[in-house]
């Protein structure tokens, strides 16, 4: 059984040894930055040393952490443990069994390889260590939990609609999503609403694309086409537009033949599952198949397979508006 205590990343705090594991770089960076700021607040004379694990040579850790004449506190950050040298493995195993007083050692491993396995095991067995797991935020349910956790941590309220709007606007980048949340937290509104999110971020391509898709799925063909043409006229690129619209279709396809599946099983947030079930009303096998085919055509066209990607995109939106039934046939 591991002896290292597990810490939630929002509660990162100085310890003799801090092991920051996992692939989500934003969470890892925020944890490390928080520890550094806490140590500096305790003592402005803090010495900070950063080491690349791949370039580490024998004795470096001992030299840096040896007691100094003035006994200044030290922070040693070793990044890239997944690429660590053999020298670091040997020195690190020795160090974690008896760390130096007044020193905080942070070791960062992104989990992309098993390199340094013996050192990782030694860290987790050390009574002086804590581990901060920074798992990838990839699933929609993970991203939703991240947003809700940020507002709960700040003791602020956000409506479910505002959460959905934020996730629509920032589909891929955790750092961008976090920056948007921080901006919203500066707003004086008692509760962060969908309207407030739209006021701040309604102009983003992803947001515009989801508005197009929502209008199309609701059968409002004219509105969907007008929104699409407005987005294109204001400089939106067809590639992210197609990607955002396609996300809606893929979610519908996921549950079409398995409507009793749970959100966790499908890798979706509960609200996305409910929305996809609602959007599927009135769709047939042939209609959904036609929409998926048109989606693939529009995706290829937007990436250079056709001279006029806008035509394929407009055809896709029109087809979705009529539940996969091509008009005029």
Tens of pLDDT along 203-222? 676 667 788 888 898 899 99
How confident is the model over 224-236, as pLDDT tens digits?
998 888 878 777 7
Q: Residue 259 has what pLDDT?
A: 77
> What angle, rounded to 10 degrees, do the helices at 194-201 and 174-185 form?
110
CA distance 81 to 207: 38
Q: Report which of 158, 150, 155 is spatially closest to residue 193, judged by C-alpha positions.
A: 158
Q: Report which of 112, 173, 153 is spatially closest to residue 9, judged by C-alpha positions.
A: 153
How confident is the model over 242-273, as pLDDT tens digits?
888 888 898 899 888 787 888 778 877 777 88
- Reply yes or no on whether the pLDDT at 151 is more than 90: yes
Q: Residue 191 has what pLDDT?
A: 95
CA distance 235 to 218: 25
In Å, what is the CA distance from 290 to each residue of 55, 144, 294, 307, 318? 54, 31, 6, 22, 12
How confident is the model over 11-40, as pLDDT tens digits?
999 999 999 999 999 999 999 999 999 999
Residue ranges and CATH numbers for the domains of the chain are 5-133 (3.40.50.300), 140-201 (1.10.8), 205-321 (1.20.272.10)
- pTM, two decimals, is 0.69
């Amino acid at each position: 059984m591991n002896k290292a205590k597990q810490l939630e990343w929002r509660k990162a705090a100085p310890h003799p040894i801090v092991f920051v594991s996992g692939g989500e770089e934003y969470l890892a960076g925020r944890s490390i930055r928080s520890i550094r700021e806490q140590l500096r607040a305790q003592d402005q004379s803090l010495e900070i040393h950063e080491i690349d694990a791949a370039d580490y040579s024998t004795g470096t850790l001992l030299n840096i952490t040896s007691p100094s004449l003035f006994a200044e506190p030290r922070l040693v950050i070793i990044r890239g443990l997944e690429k660590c040298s053999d020298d670091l493995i040997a020195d690190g195993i020795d160090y974690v069994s008896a760390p130096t007083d007044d020193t905080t050692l942070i070791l960062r491993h992104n989990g992309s390889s098993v390199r340094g396995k013996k050192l990782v095991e030694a860290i987790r067995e050390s009574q002086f260590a804590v581990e901060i797991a920074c798992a990838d935020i990839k699933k929609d349910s993970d991203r939703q939990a991240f947003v809700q956790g940020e507002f709960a941590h700040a003791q602020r309220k956000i409506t479910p609609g505002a959460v959905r709007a934020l996730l629509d606007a920032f589909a891929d980048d955790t750092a961008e999503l976090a920056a948007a949340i921080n901006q919203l937290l500066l707003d004086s509104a008692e509760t962060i609403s969908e309207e407030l999110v739209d006021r701040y971020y309604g102009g983003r391509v992803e947001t515009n694309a989801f508005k197009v898709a929502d209008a199309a799925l609701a059968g409002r063909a004219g509105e969907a086409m007008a929104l699409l043409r407005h987005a294109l006229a204001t400089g939106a690129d067809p590639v992210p537009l197609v990607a955002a619209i396609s996300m809606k279709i893929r979610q519908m396809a996921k549950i079409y033949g398995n409507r009793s599946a749970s959100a966790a099983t499908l890798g979706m947030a509960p609200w996305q599952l409910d929305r996809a079930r609602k959007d599927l009303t009135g769709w047939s096998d042939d209609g959904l198949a036609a929409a998926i085919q048109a989606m693939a055509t529009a995706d290829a066209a937007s990436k250079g397979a056709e001279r006029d990607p806008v035509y394929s995109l407009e055809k896709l939106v029109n087809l979705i508006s009529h539940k996969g039934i091509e008009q005029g046939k």
